[in-house]
């Protein structure tokens, strides 16, 4: 039997990673944060002084990244970089290199290798359209730009970091526009994906919605 995949796509700061990880935990499935691979490539480029428009060098880095996902942490060359890859500058860099066809091609098979029994929950921007087009369940998880900016702002403040709400909103809107306009695997809702707007939902409500949709498919045998 084909290993089931729940593909959750959506814009930056929509909460798709949190929801995906919790759904994976509830189902006992593997979890892939596809965005982490792009963030890791951006971090590696920054550390190795690779320009973000050097497509060939970035693709080579993506192919050979010494990365591990273990203990809910992300490791690069034996170092825990879980916090470093969440920095705003790394996120913006990841968005830029994600528009490069060679980088996306380099990471494609690495992502598909995470599809292992008993199942996989993955989040990103092209999980249901490109990486796992035969996913059992495809979800486009989103929220208003204002709500996403507010969540990110509170997250940074709670971590003791300084933050400017308007700047965060501007960055999110700029990234949305860039992700939607890129020529390769643009951010969009696929025709066969269910839309989940979490603007007015709690994390638990979003998780229960996804689980309900998946269980309905299992019961119906689809």
Hey, what are 110's tokens?
A: 């690495």
d(CA 73, CA 187): 26
d(CA 121, CA 176): 23
Task: Give φ, ψ of 105 to 5 degrees.
Answer: -65, -40
Q: Average pLDDT for residues 82-96, to the nearest whole number?
A: 89
Classify 5-216 by CATH class: alpha beta
Question: Is residue 15 marked as binding?
Answer: yes
pLDDT of residue 14: 92
Question: Is residue 144 marked as binding?
Answer: no
pLDDT digits over 155-170, tens only?
Answer: 889 989 899 999 999 9
**Mean pLDDT across the chain, nearest whole number?**
92
SS3 31: strand
**Does residue 208 register a pLDDT over 60?**
yes
Q: Kindly tell me the number of DSSP H helices and DSSP E strands found in the chain.
A: 8, 8
Q: Name, in order, each residue with C-beta under 8 angstroms of 213's C-beta and a sequence gap of 6 or more.
A: 137, 139, 194
Q: Average pLDDT for residues 143-156, to the nearest whole number?
A: 95
CA-based nearest residue to 136, from 72, 216, 39: 216
pLDDT digits over 14-53, tens only?
Answer: 999 999 999 999 999 999 988 889 999 999 999 999 999 9
pLDDT of residue 68: 83
Per-residue pLDDT band at 122 (split at 50, 70, 90): very high
Question: Is residue 91 marked as binding?
Answer: no
Hey, what are 4's tokens?
A: 């089931």
Q: Average pLDDT for residues 67-84, to the nearest whole number?
A: 86
Q: Name, in order, each residue with C-beta under 8 angstroms of 101's C-beta and a sequence gap of 6 or more.
A: 55, 183, 184
Question: Is residue 202 marked as binding?
Answer: no
pLDDT digits over 97-116, tens only?
Answer: 988 999 999 999 889 989 99
Higher pLDDT, 175 or 50: 50
In the chain, what is the straight-line distance between the N-terminal and C-terminal CA atoms, in Å?
A: 12
Task: List the alpha helices (DSSP H) in 7-80.
Answer: 16-27, 34-47, 55-64
d(CA 186, CA 80): 30
With the C-alpha atoms ordered 189, 194, 200, 203, is the resulting torsion angle positive or negative?
negative
pLDDT of residue 71: 67
Domain boundaries, the chain: 5-216
Query: Is the distance from CB of 142 to CB of 180 less than 8 angstroms?
Result: no
Query: Is the distance from CB of 180 to CB of 186 less than 8 angstroms?
Result: yes
pLDDT of residue 183: 83
pLDDT digits over 52-64, tens only?
Answer: 999 999 999 999 8
Question: Is residue 17 marked as binding?
Answer: yes
pLDDT of residue 95: 85
Question: Is residue 13 marked as binding?
Answer: yes
Q: What percent of the chain has pLDDT over 70?
A: 99
Question: Is residue 10 marked as binding?
Answer: yes
Question: Is residue 18 marked as binding?
Answer: yes
pTM (2 decimals)? 0.86
Question: Is residue 98 marked as binding?
Answer: no
């Amino acid at each position: 039997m084909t290993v089931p995949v729940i593909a959750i796509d959506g814009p930056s700061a929509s909460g798709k990673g949190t929801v995906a990880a919790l759904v994976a935990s509830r189902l006992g499935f593997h979890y892939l944060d596809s965005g982490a691979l792009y963030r890791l490539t951006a971090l590696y480029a920054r550390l190795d002084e690779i320009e973000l428009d050097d497509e060939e060098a970035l693709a080579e880095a993506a192919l050979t990244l010494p990365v591990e996902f273990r203990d809910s942490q992300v490791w690069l060359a034996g170092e825990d970089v879980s916090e470093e890859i969440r920095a705003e500058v790394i996120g913006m860099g990841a968005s830029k290199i994600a528009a490069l066809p060679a980088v996306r091609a380099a990471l494609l098979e690495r992502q598909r290798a995470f599809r292992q029994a008993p199942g996989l929950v993955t989040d990103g921007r092209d999980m249901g359209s490109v990486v796992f087009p035969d996913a059992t369940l495809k979800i486009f998880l989103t929220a208003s730009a204002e709500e996403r900016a507010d969540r990110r702002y509170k997250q940074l403040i709670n971590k003791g970091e300084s933050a400017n709400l308007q700047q965060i909103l501007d960055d999110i809107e700029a990234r949305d526009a860039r992700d939607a306009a890129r020529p390769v695997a643009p951010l969009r809702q696929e025709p066969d994906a269910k839309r989940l707007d979490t603007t007015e939902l709690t994390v638990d409500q979003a998780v229960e919605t996804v689980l309900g949709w998946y269980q309905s498919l299992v019961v119906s045998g689809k």
